[in-house]
Amino acid sequence: NEGNEYFREKDYGRAVAAYTEGLRKRCEEPELEAVLYTNRGAAHFYLGNYRSALNDAIQAKKLKPTHLKAIIRGALCHMELKNFSEAIVWCEEGLQIDSKEKKLVETRAKADKLKLEGTRLETGTDFSTHWQGRAVMGTDLLCERNIKLVLEPSNEEEEISDGLAELSLDGFHSDNVTGAKVHLDADGNLNWPVLFLYPEHEQTDFIAAFNENSRFIDHLMVMFAELPPWDLERKYLPSNLELYFEDEERAEMYKLNPEHTLLQVLQHPRYFVKAGTPTILAFVKHSPFSKKYFSGKKVHRL
């Protein structure tokens, strides 16, 4: 429970320590030990400790061979470690358990492609490295994705820059509210810091590295695997949430499909990334608060 609490708070280092302490108790319940290994592996994964995360996935799978979360985690670890053949094996094993598991289907296809192309990618490529002395490359990365960035917004007027010449080499914007930086990973994907707002409770969540090709529902499943302590009415369940972004210029709201990826949302004609941090608002479906919040507002569906 302590590990899960730290995990929800994105304090993955302490989560690893808590899950490790749980494993030291040797409760001799394979089911619980498999969960501890899987959860610790997830925390290691978000810390970038892919080898440790893979070892935990292996241990969890030994304890519970049909544990799908452990298999998915193992496949993702192999992808990060560039072991594409092994990733395919793990995906195949998981697909025998659930042939429609979307994450495994996608990972299998990606592993096949990278293995076929014989791609050799430098691990841990930093976004700023690509931009060192060449701001135009940063411009190209966003232009080819049709992502619009707001630089130096003022209270009176927001200025949309055509280029990114003012772009800081160590992040999109010096005033980035989270302190995290967008970066390009070894697979050529942008990973963004994303802020989730819960207006009803004046709470926030922060994901330091949201892969542009990840779906919102996948993150919601992790963020709300257990209900947050401030959700006293126990209504913040992944299936019970609606996500929106706001077009401040037009004072209009856009409702997202949780199955959409971050990139699909960022590419919307009315989405503008401010201060280098995409922001998403979350509401409980049909709640009195959301009905009042949206009263008089124009809402579009993506």
Q: What is the pLDDT of residue 33?
A: 92
- Apex CA 260: angle with CA 255 and CA 266, to 5°? 75
CB count within 10 Å of CB 57 equals: 29
Nearest CA among 180, 186, 181, 72 for reference residue 123: 186
Type of residue at 94: G
Is the same domain home to 114 and 145? Answer: no
For the chain, how many structural domains are there in total? 2
Same domain, 14 and 50: yes
Regarding whether 276 and 218 lie in a shared domain, the answer is: yes
Question: Has residue 135 been placed in a domain?
Answer: no
Verify that 58 and 199 share a domain, yes or no.
Answer: no
In tens digits, the chain (302 residues) has pLDDT values of 999 999 999 888 889 899 999 998 888 888 999 999 999 999 989 888 888 889 999 999 999 999 999 999 999 999 988 888 899 999 999 999 998 898 999 998 888 888 776 544 333 344 443 333 333 346 667 888 889 887 543 333 333 223 222 222 233 332 344 456 788 888 888 888 888 999 998 888 878 789 999 999 988 988 887 888 888 899 999 999 999 999 888 889 999 999 999 999 999 999 998 877 899 999 999 999 999 999 888 999 88
Q: Which amino acid is at 205?
A: D
Residue 126 lies in a domain: no
Whether residues 117 and 59 fall in one domain: yes
Same domain, 112 and 238: no
We report the CATH number of the domain holding residue 290 as: 3.10.20.90
CATH number for 29: 1.25.40.10
| Whether residue 287 is found in the same domain as residue 228 | yes
Q: Are 37 and 87 members of one domain?
A: yes
Question: Could you give phi then psi for residue 219, rounded to 5 degrees?
Answer: -75, -35
User: Which pLDDT score is estimated for 274?
Assistant: 83
27 HSE (CA, 13 A, CB side): 15
Question: Does residue 210 form part of some domain?
Answer: yes
Do 101 and 168 belong to one domain? no
Q: What does the pLDDT read at residue 87?
A: 92
Same domain, residue pair 44 and 166: no
Q: Is residue 173 part of a domain?
A: yes
In a domain, 87, yes or no: yes
Q: Are residues 292 and 231 in the same domain?
A: yes
Report how far residue 75's alpha carbon sits from residue 92's, in angstroms, rounded to the nearest whole number.
Answer: 10
Residue 127 maps to a domain:
no
pTM for the model stands at 0.51
Domain of residue 42, residue span: 1-121
Indicate whether 231 and 174 sit together in one domain: yes
Q: In this predicted structure, what is the pLDDT of residue 263? A: 96
Whether 112 is covered by a domain: the verdict is yes
Tell me whether residue 132 is in a domain.
Answer: no
Last residue of a domain, one of 56, 90, 121: 121
